[in-house]
Structure 1
Amino acid sequence: MDSFNKMLARFEPQVLSIFRVVTGLLMFQFGVAKILKFPPGTPFEKVQAFSLFGVAGMFELILGGLLILGLLTRPVAFILSGEMACAYFIEHFPRNFIPLLNGGNLAIMFCFSCLYFVCAGGGPWSLDALIGKKG
């Protein structure tokens, strides 16, 4: 089992970068839906720019894009983690205590995924890593 763990551990940095990109893309899509109203037919079509959902969409659009690129990963992930915690407690928790029943599973996963990036950084395939090598 130890050799299997060692074999997989070689890929941890790259998988961290892939996980960051996928998480960023998923956050970014919510921002696109809320702010750019794309694709048509989402439940976010009536979100207004300066409403609570609109401001959340701006965070998700801009910071989700930065997360995809791996630029300022730790502070961006910190803000997004907090946003998702707020989203959970404002939108989901009042409906029901149990996440399966209140629809808050995704907000919880985003919150803790971003919290992980705060601690782990963006990985080797990030602009943070590229800038850090030049400095």
Structure 2
Amino acid sequence: MTGRLDSAQPYALGLFRIVVGLLFACHGAASLFGALGGADGAGGTIDAGTWPGWYAAVIQLVGGSLVLLGLGTRAAALVSSGSMAYAYFKVHQPEALWPMENGGEASAMFCWALLLLVFTGSGAFGLDRVIASVRREREPKAADAERTPVAA
């Protein structure tokens, strides 16, 4: 049974990455564009350039989109995880110790989920894998072309 579960691991990880990236990007879209109820639940947005909310929303949208696509997953997840750690410790934790008390559950969960992706990579279905496989296919052809003498 373990062997079958192990063979499914890249696919489960890929689906996990897609869901986490989509949800993270949705938070950014809500804050920046008022989508999905907006930053305040009433369609409001965060004023451009305000610290730290607007910058966090940009990281959420861009980082979440990259994680969703599986493009630069590890780097995007690292920056995104760090922004959620900052959000938890600077915004939520001063209000109360526990996430249930300070409203920081989403920040804590995103922080740890994204940190996991830093160490695991994108899993299946990621553009990183597609790009790597295309490069691997082209390398032997380029090497063969260099070795083939050109007739004069």
TM-score over 0.5 (shorter chain): yes
Specify the alignment match of 1:32 in structure 2: 29
Identical pairs, percent: 35
What is the TM-score when the length of structure 1 is the normalising length?
0.92
Cα deviation 1:68-91 (Å, max 9, x = unaligned): 100000000000010000010111
Say whether residues 1:16 and 2:13 are aligned partners. yes
SS in 1 for 2:111: helix
Distance 1:7 1:64 in 2: 30
CA deviation after TM superposition for structure 1 residue 132, in Å = 1.1
Distance 1:65 1:134, change over 3 A: same
CA deviation after TM superposition for structure 1 residue 10, in Å = 1.8
Instruction: Tell which deviates more after alignment, 43-52 or 77-86.
Output: 43-52
Distance 1:119 1:41, change over 3 A: closer
SS in 1 for 2:123: coil
Distance 2:25 2:37 in 1: 16
Distance 1:111 1:58, change over 3 A: same
SS in 2 for 1:10: helix
Distance 1:97 1:125, change over 3 A: same
- Count of aligned residue pairs for this structure pair: 132
Say whether residues 1:6 and 2:15 are aligned partners. no
Q: Select the structure of larger CA radius of gyration.
A: 2
Say whether residues 1:47 and 2:50 are aligned partners. no
Structure 2 unpaired stretches of 5+: 136-152
Distance 2:38 2:10 in 1: 37
Structure 1 unpaired stretches of 5+: none
CA deviation after TM superposition for structure 1 residue 64, in Å = 0.8
SS in 2 for 1:39: helix
Cα deviation 1:36-83 (Å, max 9, x = unaligned): 111346516141111121111111111111111000000000000100
Distance 2:17 2:33 in 1: 23
Please list every run of at least 4 consecutive aligned residues from structure 1 whose deviation after the TM superposition is greater than 4 angstroms: none
Asked if the contact 2:93–2:99 (Cα under 8 Å) also holds between the matched residues in 1, the reply is: yes
SS in 1 for 2:124: coil
